[in-house]
Chains A and B, each alone.
Chain A
């Protein structure tokens, strides 16, 4: 994940501070120096880092703190807040309303991913019931209109543009007019990439903006950008009313500090991030959970929301009942697989857990494992009800396996592989048999303890280490309040 390295070094600096017995000026300075170095190495602008350092020092006035205050907590909180402040200008951006026509204009440097992001933005809103439309006002770059056209066709979004006309202002105005007539409620104008050293191009951008009167100007920014980011972003902000920022290419390994600086320069919030080259790799951005994930503090609310989103509440007790009896059937596995796929990228889900980082799951491998799950499900689709509901592994004889392989169009070997996987999972769940499943909310300390012990047996040792051993697991469960959600996750997490 972008910024992961930065997050790591900041966490380490904080950790080191907690090793010190007394927190005095020296320890604090050391910690801050460490953090400063990390920020600079991540391309955050020199001046911003300095400001941040003075700010923290101002807040954490060690002499003024009354005895008994947890100084570490205060310092940690101050750093957390400063990072949030860097990303969050404190004012919300314009939010388009469904049914009411809004014009959104995309601007940015060359190659930052404007056209790709345009389509992602349109596609995201289309899924939520908007009627988006795309206008290609990039008349300069070769192939720009073709790119937008092909993307829009793929997503089934209406588009407007011209091969002949070379005046972007004219095209933008015509496009916006036309889609207004067609009652589209989200008109997206894509513009050419430009940079501040070309004054004429900036003037052109100002003209397009004046002619189309956009409700929102979105600045698209590449996460790998370096120290030049601040100046460029500021120049854009001065020419057009940048209202919000989208940071792209967050799937790279960029240190992302330049983008951080740019956001500070535009004084506008980041509203989305692009996390891949495909249409649906686009996420809403929220500052606090992001910083919290960055520092390895986890994002419980996001994680819980995700779980509740995928596993319907009414299904959970039933599932748990079956599981606590130790009946792990292929059908349950099928349902769990379905849940995993619904959760979306697994790496993304994992990064919401404290102690986990997205680095655990490399980008490419995740795709592979998702494809594998899909293959398994196809094979299970070729099974009879009897086979699905049985927990007797001996039921699967050669002729059944043969039939399943034929039915799903897969190799015999693959079917066997899938059954092996099932056996492995079933074994894990059989260990879970004695697990107490309390009703929501009323978990006593004792049962939590017991459950934690149970869990620690079940979890792969690496995973346990990541969480922070037994102690970590217990506090984790305390935070969650209920094991129910946990179960849903491990059914999934453990494949």
Chain B
């Protein structure tokens, strides 16, 4: 694909075009359409007029430049060290509250259980608040997870058809009383365009002021990923009653094992929101929770 062209001193746009086009097409097939174009444009700009180092081909120069740009995008602008924050909250005798949000069926509850397991591994005790009071079986699902973890994780639940904001509030109060370190609040899945449901979510976040709003997104999702995340942010901002609305703080990317090399969703989401990918879910068991490896993603995207 990358033909080496030897002996050119200055790079011109025309020289770059074939290599860039090839890269762009490559990313298109990997779910990164939204940003493929922008990325290539900016790379073209940065390379234009530059001198080729000796013994390098255009294609390898372009590839290196793109790699650099990709790493830059995927490396979070603000880093989140959850464990440190948990300890900070503990010193203030407050539980650290994480709210899981996302559209339907992305794996909020499953990954909540994985995160709970992760916390337990780090000797942090956890309370789960069952704030999905809409979908049938949601509360039982959490309870089954807690049982499978074989450590007693208290589940705070009030049954179905209750106001989730209130359930979360009471769960946090209870956690404060019992001296629990972390509250994980599971919410009902909602479509990003459904205004009443988004309003309810905004209320939940406003009322409880969690330490971390974690957006759970599916790696399987294509270009819709960007729409989901930006709409969640937009709706949370619009519908909030507070002057400084809380937005999505971090991303949990699920079903990472189902997509082979089509990893672009991660790229698009981070690029659009600037929120870092905190965890990556990649399997059905509790241990299948990883940190995002920027290097390997970039490698897959350019493969």
Contacts and interface: CB of A to CB of B under 8 A. Distances in A.
Given A226-B220, A249-B191, A363-B193, A147 B138 contact: yes
A252 B260 contact: no
A277 B134 contact: yes
Nearest to B263: A228
A142 B227 contact: no
A365 B223 contact: no
Interface in A281-320: none
Contacts of B193: 251-253, 362-363
A43 interface: yes
A233 to B, nearest CB: 12
Interface in A156-213: 195-198
B238 interface: no
Given A111-B106, A249-B191, A367 B196 contact: yes
Given A252-B191, A364-B195, A143 B258 contact: no
Given A142-B144, A150-B137, A231 B196 contact: no
A91 interface: no
Interface stretch (A22-30, A254-262, A405-413): A254-262
Interface in A238-269: 249, 251-255, 257-258
B94 interface: no
A349 interface: no
Nearest to A249: B104
B194 A251 contact: yes
Given A42-B223, A144-B137, A364-B195, A110 B142 contact: no
A418 to B, nearest CB: 22
Interface in B95-128: 103-107, 109-110, 113
Contacts of A226: 31, 220-225, 262, 264-265
Contacts of B104: 111, 113, 249, 277
Contact of A252 (B34, B107, B140, B224): B224
B257 A195 contact: yes
Nearest to B148: A142
A148 B191 CA distance: 21
Range for the number of chain B residues in contact with chain A = 35 or more
A224 B137 contact: no
A40 B24 CA distance: 12
A58 interface: no
Contacts of A41: 33-34, 223
A362 B198 CA distance: 13
A414 interface: no
B191 A227 contact: no
A225 interface: yes
Contacts of A374: none
Contacts of A254: 224, 227
A196 B195 CA distance: 35
A251 B258 CA distance: 24
A256 B83 CA distance: 39
A255 B194 contact: no
Contacts of B138: 143, 147
B96 to A, nearest CB: 24
B19 interface: no
A255 to B, nearest CB: 6
Contact of B259 (A40, A228, A253): A228
A249 B31 CA distance: 20
User: Which has the most chain B C-beta neighbours within 10 Å: A42, A144, A226?
Assistant: A226
Contacts of B109: 142-143
B31 A110 contact: no
B197 interface: yes
B196 A364 contact: yes
A148 B196 CA distance: 26
Nearest to A254: B224
A196 B262 CA distance: 14
Nearest to B265: A226
Interface in B129-158: 134-145, 148
Interface string B199-243: 000000000000000000010111111011001000000000000
Given A40-B28, A225-B220, A226-B223, A140 B284 contact: yes
Contacts of B134: 277
Nearest to B144: A142
Nearest to A226: B222
Given A150-B136, A277-B104, A364-B197, A255 B258 contact: no
B10 interface: no
Contacts of A255: 222-224, 227
A257 B223 CA distance: 9
B105 A143 contact: no
Given A224-B103, A227-B262, A364-B196, A251 B223 contact: no
A363 B191 contact: yes
A12 to B, nearest CB: 18
A232 B196 contact: no
A113 B134 CA distance: 15
A490 to B, nearest CB: 27
B15 to A, nearest CB: 24
Interface string B244-258: 000000000001011
B29 interface: yes
A104 interface: no
A151 B136 contact: yes
B191 A253 contact: yes
A224 B136 contact: no
Nearest to B29: A46
15 contacts: A40-B33, A111-B107, A115-B137, A141-B141, A143-B140, A143-B141, A146-B139, A222-B220, A225-B221, A229-B220, A252-B191, A252-B192, A253-B191, A257-B222, A257-B223
Given A144-B141, A222-B105, A277-B135, 12 more contacts: A109-B220, A110-B258, A142-B109, A143-B141, A146-B139, A198-B257, A198-B284, A226-B264, A227-B29, A232-B220, A277-B104, A363-B195
Which 8 A-B pairs rank lowest in CB-CB distance, beginning with the nearest?
A226-B222, A143-B141, A147-B137, A111-B105, A150-B136, A142-B144, A146-B140, A43-B222
